[in-house]
Structure 1
Amino acid sequence: MEEKQVVVVVVINRGKDSVIMNKRNSVIVVLSLFIGVFGWSQTQRKDSTQVYKKRVLETSEIDFLTSYYTQDGDNAAVSGGLGTEELTDVTGAFIISIPLNDDDVLTIDAGISAYTSASSSNVDPFDGGAPADPFVASSGASSADGWVNLTGGYSHSSDSRNDIVSAKISVSKEFDYFSLGFGGGYTKLFNQKNTEVSVNANVYLDSWSAIYPVELRPFTSNGNGIANGLFLNNTITGNTNYNPIFTPFKDEKRNSYAVGFGFSQILSKKLQGSLLVDFVQQEGLLSTPFQRVYFSDVSDSFIDNFHLADAIEQLPDSRFKIAIGGRLHYYINEAFIVRTYYRFYSDDWGIDSHTASIEIPIKISDKFTVYPFYRFYNQTAANYFAPYNEHLSTSAFYTSDYDLSKYTANQYGIGVTYTDIFTNFQVWRFGLKSIDLKYNNYQRDSGLKASIISAGFKFLVD
């Protein structure tokens, strides 16, 4: 409006003064327009700087993970701490990460696992054609099964990228087990993103469909005991008056509550460290229903070469766990990095453990990295553990699961990673970003040996 008023004055005043006025006001008009446009431009630049931000995830990503696992040993918990632990497992999973906008990412994780197990096949060692034996897998239906899992996750990052909120929900199912989980977390970065603190919490609501050793099933309230066809059609040797201690579990639910805290700090240009603390409280059925136990003060009963169960595993209905760990990553040069890890674990079942590992990624080219690694682990035994046929029937709790025994384990491995940030290799609309291959060899001093080969492929979606 002011510019229009000046123009009117110029038109009314004629003569020399009017010419001077006209020139002056023309300058004023030009300057005013220049200042206005410049100011508007600066405001727009400032606003656009505030609005523009780098996306948390530029494009959708798909990870395909697969592994082949095999193990063997002589301390199967299914047959009371004695027998074959032979197992083979093949797993595949897809993880899809989808950017919903600049700040939000949706993640979908779907996995499936199929296994054959000589150990679990002996839940019913009499359903095959050969004589029952704890060191021989039964050929019946219990020798193989599968596991499926579906997890959905969501994360939101603030405009500054200094605050990250996440949430997830998961469902998994196995032949005798169902699990529903949900949780969330919060991460805060500050000190120019050199410091990071985080907290996360998860809840898992699980339920068993209890499956018991086949020779104990006739001893339920609706069973016919020693008059069952299993015993009538087979000859019991040793103690022919077989009479196990067995009562089915009334409550088949198990709940787990976990809280974790993390702290990470860039200590120098070459050194980064982090601390982790986790608390877990479990309640409900913590025993495995099909794991047998044998008592030293009860006479042994056999069918073929298979020792009939004296009882099943009995463990407390609560367990509290705490783990404290730390990582140090040191950048030596462009070719070498050293990654170290240590964790101390303790629970109220009497287990204390120490874990230490080291990994040394070696960059051999712009696209290939090789990383050898080693992991050491040892633990004390749970208060309720004893080997095969060494428990007393007067005990309230007992297990012969060697996962709860005292042992030391060593794990060696090597991995190789191929990375192509430009995704030159294309499969339809998918660009291959990286390939990760890894081999692990695991050995316990109890005799358990295992190997695992795993592979991961990351694709970007155009």
Structure 2
Amino acid sequence: MKQVFLTVLGILALLKGYTQQAPDTTGFEARKLKIEEINLVSSYYGQTGDHAAVTGGIGTQKLTDIANVFDIKLSKYDRKLRKHTFGLEVGIDHYSSASSDKVDLKANSSASYSDTRIYPSLTWSVENEKKGTTFSLGASSSSEFDYQSFGVNVGFAKKTRDRNGEFSARLQGYFDQVKLVTPTELRPGGGSDENSYGSDNRTTIAGSLSWSQVINKNLQVMLLADLVHQQGFLSLPFYRVYFNDGTVHQEKLPDSRFKIPLGFRANYFLGDRIIIRTYYRFYKDDWGITSHTANIEVPVKITPFLSVSPFYRFYNQSAVKYFAPYGQHTGSDTYYTSNYDLSKFNSNFLGAGIRLAPPKGVFGMQHFNMLELRYGHYTRSNDLNANSISLNIRFK
């Protein structure tokens, strides 16, 4: 946690000059590119468990992850009074994983013990406020030792004439390359030369539709639907599977997957101090998973600038057709995995957030307009437990 908060404090110092800038009072202010919002998020995640997929569904799942995300939004109006918004996000995660360290069962500590992931993204949108339309484009990438990904997306949104409803559509594509880091005992000659690793590809195409509607001054709802298709290498190469004859194999899953998530959101404003936010999602795919997610969060204003937000999420899923625990797969199985993320389980995520947004700015800095701290505890019915804490600061 010390590293997380030191990172935030360092970025705060860099942005001090921005918080002291005087507003632009020239006659061309509306057409100048200006900073609309800056968000800084630092988080810590730690988990424990006893069903590591790297060792065939048994063994420690201990993992820690420290993440830092910097997000900035800039905007300007063109000569036709269309609003252009530009977004830049850069994320850096560093994790250490006791289970990934077991890619080599004989090593006390291997190169797989820890890794750093860097994931920048760029977005651009243009909104015609008169017509109520928004068009957007985006690109992203993610890079770590054994995984490279590039993504693109395009979106369109249209508000109703009374501006109480909005339809949006989005198409996303992700093009990944997976380095085939196999368990050492399954490599030819048991070698560890990184140059001997092969690679394979994975493509994900996702289409999203949503409809949001203001029902009345108290109630807002949204319907969401997605279609997702994946093609290519969908296994993880360093996940072991132990058969009932004692032999060890590399996880093998089909090379295509089709997913259908459907969701519903409803926000109800219970007076001036309480909001009830609810969410439900139904999910089904052709590997055999059916899942249900139900979430509720209730932000409560303690004062006009201080609020607390308790939240709870319940999740339930069935197992994929290809899952079996350690030592229970047979030689007749075409596909096989002992990854407990693909098993049948229930999970609970419970926590709360505290949000500070004084009218004169946090610590008296006018542009430093929000600080939020959130904590959550996660439990899963197949013996996985985790804790997470995040700090979000916003400049505007």
Give TM class, smaller chain: 0.7 to 0.9
Spell out, residue by residue over 1:333-361, the C-alpha distance to the aligned partner (whole angstroms, 9 max, x if none).
11111111100000000000000011111
Structure 1 segment 131-146 matched on structure 2, within 5 A = 139-146=109-116
Kept in 2: contact 1:315–1:384 (CA 8 A): yes
- Which amino acid is 2:68 matched to? G
Matched, 1:360 2:337: no
Q: Quick one: which of 376, 387, 391 aligns to 2:314?
A: 376
Cα 1:92–1:78 shift into 2, 3 Å? same
1:105 aligns with 2:85: yes
What do residues 308-340 of structure 1 show as CA deviations (whole Å, max 9, x unaligned)? xx1010000000000111011111111111111
Given the alignment of the two structures, is residue 392 of structure 1 paired with residue 368 of structure 2, yes or no?
A: no
Over the matched positions of the two proteins, sequence identity in percent amounts to: 42
Q: Give the aligned partner of residue 37 of structure 2.
A: 61
1:349 alignment partner, SS class: coil
CA distance in 2, matches of 1:100, 1:341: 33
For 1:434 and 1:358, how far apart are their aligned partners in 2? 22
Q: Contact 1:98/1:107 (CA < 8 Å) preserved in 2?
A: yes
Q: How does 1:290-329 map to 2 (within 5 A)?
A: 290-296=238-244, 298-299=245-246, 310-329=248-267
Q: Which of 199, 207, 212 lines up with 2:169 in the alignment?
A: 199
Q: 1:377 and 1:229 mapped to 2: Cα distance? A: 41
Is 1:255 the equivalent of 2:203? yes
Question: Contact conserved, 2:362 with 2:370, CA < 8 A, in 1?
Answer: no
SS at match of 1:122: helix
Cα 1:263–1:159 shift into 2, 3 Å: closer
Q: In structure 2, what residue type is equivalent to 1:455?
A: L
> What's the counterpart of residue 281 of structure 2?
343
Q: Which residue does 2:159 correspond to in 1?
A: 189
1:100 Cα deviation after fit = 3.5
- What is the Cα deviation at residue 98 of structure 1? 1.1
Work out whether residues 246 and 327 of structure 2, in 8 Å CA contact, stay in contact via their aligned partners in 1: no
Change in 2 beyond 3 A, CA 1:261/1:336: same
Distance 1:146 1:384, change over 3 A: same
- What's the CA shift for 1:59? 3.6
Q: Could you tell me which of 232, 235, 242 is aligned with 1:284?
A: 232
Return the alpha-carbon distance in structure 2 between the equivalents of residues 318 and 288 of structure 1: 14
Q: In structure 1, how many angstroms separate the alpha carbons of the residues matched to 2:34 and 2:112?
A: 46
Q: Which moved more, 1:152-161 or 1:253-262?
A: 152-161
Q: Residue 68 of structure 1: SS of its match in structure 2?
A: strand
Distance 1:57 1:395 in 2: 59
Which of 55, 60, 63 is residue 87 of structure 1 equivalent to? 63
User: Which of residues 12, 21, 46 in structure 2 aligns to 1:70?
Assistant: 46
Among candidates 358, 366, 373, match of residue 437 of structure 1: 373
Q: Which is higher, the Rg of structure 1 or of structure 2? A: 1
Q: In 2, Cα distance between the equivalents of 1:62 and 1:313?
A: 42
Q: CA RMSD in A?
A: 2.2
Q: Is the 8 A contact 1:344 1:354 kept in 2?
A: yes
Structure 1 residue 56: Cα displacement:
12
Q: Which residue of 1 aligns with 2:16?
A: none
Q: Deviations over 1:169-193 (max 9, x none)?
A: 0011011000000011111111411
Please, what TM-score do these two structures have when normalized by structure 1? Answer: 0.75
8 Å CA contact 2:171–2:206 kept in 1: the answer is yes
| C-alpha separation in 1, matches of 2:287 and 2:140 | 28
Deviation track 1:68-114 (CA, whole Å, cap 9, x = no partner) reads 00000000000000000000000001001111336101100001000
Count of residues in Structure 1 that have an aligned counterpart in Structure 2: 362
The 1:165–1:361 alpha-carbon spacing in structure 2 relative to 1, beyond 3 Å, is same
CA contact (8 A) 2:168 2:210 kept: yes
Normalised by the size of structure 2, how large is the TM-score? 0.87
Structure 2 CA distance for aligned equivalents of residues 280 and 125 of structure 1: 36
8 Å contact kept, 2:53–2:239: yes
Per-residue deviation at 1:125?
2.2
5+ residue gaps, structure 2: 1-27
Give yes or no for contact 2:371–2:393 (8 Å, CA) kept in 1.
yes
| Residue aligning to 1:331 | 269
Q: Choose from 144, 155, 163 the match for 1:174.
A: 144
Partner of 1:454 in structure 2? Answer: 390
Aligned mates of 2:294, 2:197 — CA distance in 1: 38
Secondary structure, aligned partner of 2:86: strand
The CA deviation at 1:426 is 6.3
Determine the C-alpha separation between the residues in 2 that align with 1:263 and 1:251. Answer: 40
Matching residue within 101, 106, 128 for 1:121: 101
1:229–1:373 distance in 2 versus 1, CA, 3 Å: closer
The 8 Å contact of residues 179 and 197 in structure 2, kept in 1 or not, is answered as no
| Matching residue's letter, 2:268 | Y
List runs of 5+ in structure 1 lacking aligned partners. Answer: 1-51, 129-138, 231-247, 301-309
Shift of the 360–299 alpha-carbon distance from structure 1 to 2, 3 Å rule, reads closer
What is the CA–CA distance in structure 2 between the aligned matches of 1:107 and 1:186, rounded to whole Å? 16
Answer whether contact 1:251 1:284 (CA < 8 A) is retained.
no
Give the number of the structure whose residues are more often strand, by fraction. Answer: 2
TM-aligned CA distance change 1:250 to 1:146, over 3 Å: closer
SS at match of 2:367: strand
Post-superposition Cα deviations, 1:25-73, rounded to whole Å, max 9, x if no partner, equal xxxxxxxxxxxxxxxxxxxxxxxxxxx9989997432111110000000
Q: Structure 1 residues 330, 57: CA separation in 2 closer, same or farther (over 3 Å shift)? A: farther
- Classify the secondary structure of the residue corresponding to 2:74: strand
Q: Which amino acid aligns with 1:335?
A: R
Match of 1:285, as an amino acid? F
